[in-house]
Amino acid sequence: MKYAGMEDRNAIEAQMPWQDRDVPKTLYGQLTETTEKFPNHNAVSFQLLSGATDKTETFTWKQLHGKVTQAANLFRSLGIGPKDVVAYVLPNSNETILTLLGGAVAGIANPINPLLEPEQIGSILRETGASVVVTLRPFPKTDVAEKTAKAVKLAPGVHTVLEVDLNRYLTPPKSWIVPLVRPKMTVTNQAKYLNFNAEMNKQPTKLAFEDVQEDRVGFYFHTGGTTGMPKVAQHLYSGAIYNGWVGATVLLSADDVMLCPLPLFHVMACQVMLMGAVASGAHVVFPTPQGYRGEGVFANLWKLVERYKVTFVVSVPTALAATMQVPVNADISSVKTAFSGSAPLPLELFKRFEEKTGMTIVEGYGMTEATCLVSGNPVDGEKKVGSIGIPFPYTDIKIIKGTADGEVEAKVDEIGEICVSNPGVYVGNTYTEADKNKGLYYNDKYLRTGDLGRVDADGYLWITGRSKDLIIRGGHNIDPAEIEEALLGHPAVAFAGAIGQPDAHAGELPCAFVELVDGASVTPEELLAFCQEHVTERAAQPKHIKIMDELPKTAVGKIFKPDLRKDAIFRIYDETLENAGSPARVASVIDDKKRGLVAQVALNGASEADVEAVIGRFVGAWEAA
């Protein structure tokens, strides 16, 4: 259907309540329904290497249904019941898809970021109570198998590890070489190791147990974290089915092809793109185990579009920026739209990408705690660049602001915390840890997102800041407390405040401000080196540290971060303007009620167009002073 704006959204809701819609009750029911409609349509494709002629493996919906059934039967044979957990620590592959879907059919699937450290992986395995883990067999140029082995040792509840060998995706002579150079690994944990494909292929393609027709938890997704224990969000079948329904209703058909180089441990790839395909019958393509990080993916992106006749390119702002460096060297006329999510999209990047490729970019907003989808710019209607669109059908958004008389709902264009209610929000049980759910809801219905924003007169949602103070580096959530705690471990540091400084590529990069102990002496370079040792996640290591005589603080002694953000905007924007040869400089940074922090720039003879070309690449707003 055409989905052009609020009128279409409201018409869908007016047709009937969500609970009366004829949608499957279970994941397996949804997969079966789509398979019966489109048995011979392509469902998923994966290729290990990025070239447009490299080996690819494609499953039709009938083949995928059979493989998922075998995977679910395998997990059930290993003792996985509806409340038991299958975790996976895997890069992208077809086996990753089978583990995700098969694990959720048999029990609860728990994707884990393979870039995490063993201690973090182990803590997630303990928190979720995982008993079966699927991971890689040792393979050249990756340490996933080794890290997982260490993590499993820290999680005594894991009794079986199933290994996936990526060598089967290679062709000779590379497939002959891998066994000769495969890393040696001595396993010292308690688990029994088995071959995933060999064990799965022993199973029947008919489900060997009852798919009980009831809603239940089918997925555990950990939230973004750097060091320490990430929180684990619970996703119901109904939340995943809702996300798929949104895709199939407002966007996708069985004739669409999505190119999705995003990781299959993230909700955008799993609950939006893959579930959108499961609900609509569309074809989704995953190039290379590392997605956009894979060798040659950017260089071959347009040729992959041509190879698969892609209609939708799935992306994030950092990937869109990198794509801009690649000439359009293939026929990309099949593409309708490029999706952008996970972080705000700078206006200048939006303009340049559309001019170069002729594609329309659609920005969306979602979060792990809401299964994913919340809002998006309508594909067929008005797109307000910089906004995150209108709420999807059956999604209700409240903007809640604090006043002297308590919390109230904000008026049009007033800023407050974004709170969300939709079928993807598992009210009262968002996180596995009960304590984490306390105070998480407004009026016992609306999930508090921690994001600050406003809704304009047309119903479009705008993000203006984050009450949680998370640093979002290219979609990767970094808790500033981790950086601050590391710096406070240095004997010369009395106070520390970490924020995200503007970055044209990643959106934000971590930086820190410190106040020293009286009489202490240390250089920023020494503190940066200290952070490299004590902030374990590389993405969280600060790129800049400033030593201040005194950090700005509130009346109760808390560090006042808006002033730190203003300082970073001054520094980054002025450096960028100077390096570009522009005489313009930031005169002040103001807190605008609608736009958040806005840089007021003294042009000093430069034109506004020239300044926009230089600093329009940043997410933050600016205006001529």
- Asked if residue 462 is part of any domain, the answer here is no
- The structural domain count of the chain equals 3
Are residues 305 and 202 part of one domain? yes
Strand 85-89 with 132-136, pairing: parallel
Domain coverage including residue 585: 563-625
State which amino acid sits at residue 146.
Answer: E
Q: Are the CB atoms for 257 and 309 separated by under 8 Å?
A: yes
- Asked if residue 138 is part of any domain, the answer here is yes
Are residues 602 and 542 part of one domain? no
Higher pLDDT among residues 99 and 538, named by residue: 99
User: Per-residue pLDDT tens for 385-432?
Assistant: 889 999 999 999 999 988 778 899 999 999 899 999 999 999 999 999
Are residues 365 and 281 part of one domain? yes
Q: Are the CB atoms for 496 and 558 separated by under 8 Å?
A: no
Are residues 191 and 45 part of one domain? yes
Are residues 542 and 584 part of one domain? no
State which amino acid sits at residue 353.
Answer: F
Are residues 134 and 52 part of one domain? yes
User: Per-residue pLDDT tens for 59-68?
Assistant: 999 999 999 9
Which CATH number covers residue 523?
Answer: 3.30.300.30
Residue finishing a domain among 335, 370, 397: 397
Task: Please say if the pLDDT value at position 485 is more than 90.
Answer: no
Amino acid 379: pLDDT: 87
Angle at 397 between CA 393 and CA 399, to 5 degrees: 160
Are residues 541 and 574 part of one domain? no
Task: Please say if the pLDDT value at position 163 is more than 90.
Answer: yes
Mean pLDDT across the stretch 309-323? 88
Listed in sequence order, the residues at least 6 apart from 527 whose beta carbon sits closer than 8 Å to its beta carbon are: 487, 490, 493, 512, 514, 545, 547
Q: Are the CB atoms for 589 and 598 separated by under 8 Å?
A: yes
Which CATH number covers residue 137?
Answer: 3.40.50.12780
- Asked if residue 445 is part of any domain, the answer here is no
User: Per-residue pLDDT tens for 440-471?
Assistant: 999 999 999 988 899 999 999 998 877 767 78
Angle at 341 between CA 336 and CA 342, to 5 degrees: 165
Which band of pLDDT confidence, cut at 50, 70 and 90, is reported for residue 226? very low
- Asked if residue 44 is part of any domain, the answer here is yes
Cα 73 from chain centroid (whole Å): 29
Strand 396-403 with 596-602, pairing: unpaired
- Asked if residue 489 is part of any domain, the answer here is yes
Are residues 489 and 580 part of one domain? no
- Asked if residue 432 is part of any domain, the answer here is no
Task: Please say if the pLDDT value at position 15 is more than 90.
Answer: yes
Which CATH number covers residue 615?
Answer: 3.30.300
Which pair of structure tokens corresponds to residue 571? 């520094």
Task: Please say if the pLDDT value at position 478 is more than 90.
Answer: no
User: Per-residue pLDDT tens for 590-620?
Assistant: 988 678 899 999 999 999 999 999 999 998 8
Are residues 153 and 112 part of one domain? yes
- Asked if residue 532 is part of any domain, the answer here is yes
State which amino acid sits at residue 553.
Answer: K
Amino acid 477: pLDDT: 74
Mean pLDDT across the stretch 509-537? 94
Are residues 549 and 599 part of one domain? no
Are residues 545 and 572 part of one domain? no
Residue finishing a domain among 397, 426, 459: 397
Q: What is the sign, positive or negative, of the torsion defined by CA atoms of 23, 24, 27, 29? A: negative
Query: What percent of the chain has a predicted confidence (pLDDT) above 90?
Result: 79
Residue finishing a domain among 519, 537, 559: 559
Mean pLDDT across the stretch 154-168? 98
- Asked if residue 297 is part of any domain, the answer here is yes
Distances in whole angstroms, Cα of residue 156 to Cα of each of 95, 130, 173, 301: 25, 9, 40, 42
Are residues 366 and 275 part of one domain? yes
Amino acid 555: pLDDT: 61
Residue identified by tokens 């919390």 is 407
Q: Are the CB atoms for 111 and 221 separated by under 8 Å?
A: yes
User: Per-residue pLDDT tens for 256-306?
Assistant: 999 999 999 999 999 999 999 999 999 999 999 999 999 999 999 999 999
